Structure 1
Amino acid sequence: MSHTVDIPQELKNALRKFRFARRNAGSAAMVVKINKPKLIMEEVEQFDDISIEDLAEELPENAPRYVMLSYELNHDDGRKSFPLVMINWAPISCEMSLLTLHASAFLEFQATADVSKIIEVRDGAEGLTKEAIDAKLKGER
């Protein structure tokens, strides 16, 4: 399979560790970007117990990111679960060449991260809210 962007083994290890971390409260996130000159993916930062609104403020307005999110979902029947969600952060204000590169590597990142729930966010921080994520996750059932 041909690919445009490499995913280094250290990032694969970090994704695996994030995926299998035990959580019992709050949402955690891992932010990954593409280093355009090197054509590799790099971890930008990890957040533990971060609100969705704070996460939205941490993400750049003019650059795409892949965000792995372990999300604290409160169900209507009182149960709590922590689904793993991938946020495809691709604001429309991004440079077109970055968006194209980001889109070309999306499926490979999704497969490497081994996540099936995807939430697209194209309208910046206004599109990344707790209400929007709750609606998308509860609507999938």
Structure 2
Amino acid sequence: MGQSSQSLPSDSLVVCDVDPALTEKLRKFRFRKETNNAAILMKIDKERQLVVLEEEFQDISPEELKSELPERQPRYPSAVGYKYVHDDGRISYPLCFIFSSPVERGGA
């Protein structure tokens, strides 16, 4: 039996790079010493096909972060660092990536 291969048209898949400045900011964010909740919102610059920094937040609650997300545009992803207290009293500071894709609502 011969080997089968499927090829996709070159314009069917678009991959974005990450802005080097954002990569450095995320590295620093990951190893930050602060213990407050913080977030970095990222977006895609369609013209440059680049994931870029949109905004950075310090001392932000999950509810406040939710209100900062655009209602009609996805974010790819947002980085969130927060203080988590375990049941046994230990404290950790996980880093989460959240993809936000607003739900399209039917209109008139």
Q: TM-score range by the shorter chain?
A: 0.7 to 0.9
Q: How many residues align?
A: 92
Bigger radius of gyration among the two:
2
Q: Kindly indicate which of the two structures has a greater share of residues assigned to strand.
A: 2
Superposed CA RMSD: 1.8
Which residue of the other structure, out of 60, 64, 77, is the alignment partner of 2:88?
77
The offset of 1:93, in angstroms, is 2.4
Structure 1 position 27, deviation (Å): 0.9
Q: Which residue pairs with 2:71 in the alignment?
A: 61
TM-score by length of 1: 0.60
Unaligned runs of 5+ in 1: 95-141
Gaps of 5+ in 2: 1-12
CA deviations over 1:37-87 (Å, ceiling 9, x no partner): 221111011111100000000010111111101111121122221101111
CA contact (8 A) 1:34 1:41 kept: yes
**1:46 & 1:93 partners in 2: Cα distance?**
26
TM-score, normalization by structure 2:
0.77
Structure 1 segments (4+ residues) deviating >3 Å = none
Question: SS of the counterpart of 1:67?
Answer: strand
SS of the equivalent of 1:50 reads coil
Q: Distance in 1 between matches of 2:34 and 2:93?
A: 7
Q: % of aligned pairs identical? A: 40
Residues of 1 paired with 2:33 and 2:100: CA distance? 25
